[in-house]
Structure 1
């Protein structure tokens, strides 16, 4: 009899805890990138944005196969791949992933896979360079055979902004610098895309030094490269990405589906004033550059299409 009563008490306690959890709000699981500081920062921003009505929980590997309709936020491509491989039916909201990485997954699982895109649209990066060098009309692009397609949408859009671009194909690693020299001779500036085959920690120093010696600037590919020596790069601030992620989650809980992957509405600009001074380039403020880019995109109807 005592054993039965004890069992009933345990059952009642678990039922009560479950009811309290349901009353407290909805559950969203989080798969981190493995970078402790980054994961902690984003978790804090997400929890603050979503409020007390959402229970944000780190997910363990043994929980992944059992997830039904609870959405999972993944931070970075590795976390996304880990969740996707373990449970192809789980609804995923990806963060810190590029469009080129996510689009195929989202196309195969519309409404179930979506994301807040981390890369910056190349037209925005090109206009960032134009805001700094108003008389620039020609943009140099480096690509490999595998990454040429990254630039094709950009090339089609540039004439509307009074610019054109030419792709210089890097056929092998030992031809990177000679190809770069030819590209710098053509373009008013070099626009770098998130192409790790060309722009990576092993090559970036040589690329930036070569550009600097030829009195040319590099725009992009990310905020981190500005610290290494690129002159400027647009970027989406974390609070903007988190705000959009919260809106996507609200839509999911209301409709059972995520909106398609999207960029945040607001971007900021990182600049390297030391490089600008060395090249005798007058720099507007970061806010002024971002405002000029936004105006150009709005006038041409691009802002909503990025």
Structure 2
């Protein structure tokens, strides 16, 4: 097949970009590096999408996925840079046709990131809305096996935010921030971080961007790891005619805000030691696959 692969359309993959040229080119470059040489990855414009048949398309970010899905309901889509909560419903209803590489970090891994930094921590505080509270039930069930417990504090409007946060910080050894835009967004994050800081409590997560803003730490999957998984899923599509189920990458790194750690007088071990501690904890409990 590879001998004449370059002429056959079944080794072509389209790319629907996020609108950020730098990001789209970076993802395209990483995917190209990981894909076999007989696979061609070609950017596509929105007006071309309705004409595509039986050729897979990689969408970058939730807006690109939504545009592709609206324009062509039969196209096979691999969604990248999307959270599990965004894509898993689409994938469940369209198995084999829609898949994705999860961008968010498994909540258990994030909780264990907090415990690796604060080994004495055993209570985890979580903020959620009534719409998002069920997302945390699996984590609450998983934590006792790791010597921790969690409680969810409900925030249903902006007036609830600080009172609920104060109650959460009284309960938890740290606040686990999840990718819940209703709670963690540019309008609220400064208030959340300052309130936690004044009470000498750390915030873990939800992403590298929030670590730069003042969270103490977050696990994250490097773009290269997400691209490696995406390329593997594309190869599986060409081999089997359908995508595998969406999945998390297997390799994670940890971002730490050293300035916050110093100002809170928290000694943070080397990143490699933290990663090793988390991985060991997941492996010993049989959860290393980050299901």
TM-score range (shorter-chain normalised) is over 0.9
Contact 2:83 2:102 in 1 (8 A): yes
2:163 to 178, 181, 184: 178
Q: What is the aligned partner in structure 2 of residue 193 from structure 1?
A: 178
For residue 42 of structure 1, what is the aligned residue in structure 2?
27
Structure 1 residue 305, shift from structure 2 partner: 4.3
* Matches of 2:198 and 2:121, distance apart in 1: 19
Q: Do 1:140 and 1:191's aligned partners in 2 also have CA atoms closer than 8 Å? A: yes
Matched, 1:80 2:65: yes
The C-alpha deviation readout for 1:206-231, integer Å capped at 9, x for no partner, is 10011001000000011110000000
Q: Is the 8 A contact 1:25 1:53 kept in 2?
A: no
- Partners of 1:23 and 1:100 in 2: how far apart? 35
Given the alignment of the two structures, is residue 112 of structure 1 paired with residue 97 of structure 2, yes or no?
yes
- 1:168 is matched with 153
Q: Which secondary structure state, in structure 2, belongs to the residue aligned with residue 252 of structure 1?
A: helix
Match of 1:270 in 2: 255
Q: Distance in 2 between matches of 1:171 and 1:254?
A: 47
2-structure distance, mates of 1:52, 1:300: 39
| Offset from partner CA, 1:41-73 (integer Å, 9 cap, x none) | 111111121143111111122321221111100
Deviation at 1:20, TM superposition (A): 8.7
Shift of 1:21: 4.3
State the partner residue of 1:216: 201
The 3-state SS of whatever aligns with 1:94 is: strand
Q: Which of residues 281, 291, 304 in structure 1 aligns to 2:276? A: 291
1:174 shift after superposition: 1.3
Q: CA deviation at 1:171?
A: 2.9
Tell me the residue number matched to 1:249: 234
Query: Once structures 1 and 2 are overlaid, which stretch shifts more, 224-233 or 40-49?
Result: 40-49
Matched, 1:301 2:266: no
SS state at 1:33 partner: coil
Residue 123 (structure 2) pairs with residue 143 (structure 1): no
Gaps of 5+ in 1: 1-18
The CA RMSD over aligned residues, in Å, is 1.4
CA distance in 2, matches of 1:63, 1:43: 19
Task: Look up the SS of the partner of 1:212 in the other structure.
Answer: helix
User: Could you say what secondary structure the match of 2:79 adopts?
Assistant: strand
Call closer, same or farther: CA 1:218–1:36 in 2, change over 3 Å: same
1:259 alignment counterpart: 244
Give SS of 1:70's match. coil
CA distance in 2, matches of 1:49, 1:236: 16
Q: What CA distance in whole angstroms lies between the structure 1 residues aligned with 2:151 and 2:230?
A: 36
Unaligned segments of structure 2, at least 5 residues: none
Q: Is the 8 A contact 1:24 1:53 kept in 2?
A: no
Of structures 1 and 2, the larger Rg is shown by: 1
Question: Could you tell me whether the CA contact under 8 Å between 2:10 and 2:55 is conserved in 1?
Answer: no
**What TM-score do the two structures reach when normalised by structure 2?**
0.96
Task: Give the drift of 1:175.
Answer: 1.9
Query: Is the CA contact 1:116–1:262 (under 8 Å) kept in the aligned structure 2?
Result: yes
* C-alpha distance in 1 between matches for 2:11 and 2:242: 15
Query: Partner of 2:289: helix, strand, or coil?
Result: helix
| 3-state SS in 2 of match to 1:142 | strand
**Cα offset, 1:149, TM superposition:** 1.0
CA contact (8 A) 1:28 1:70 kept: yes
The ranges of structure 1 where at least 4 consecutive aligned residues each deviate by more than 4 angstroms after the TM superposition are: none
Q: Compare relative contact order (CA 8 Å, sep 6+) and give the higher one, 1 or 2.
A: 2
Normalised to the residue count of structure 1, the TM-score between the two structures is 0.91
After the TM superposition, which of the residue ranges 63-72 and 183-192 deviates more from structure 2?
63-72
Match for residue 225 of structure 1?
210
Residues 81-138 of structure 1: per-residue CA shift (max 9 Å, x gap): 1001111110000000011011111011100100111010100000000000001010
Name the CA distance, whole Å, in 1 between partners of 2:51 and 2:262: 56
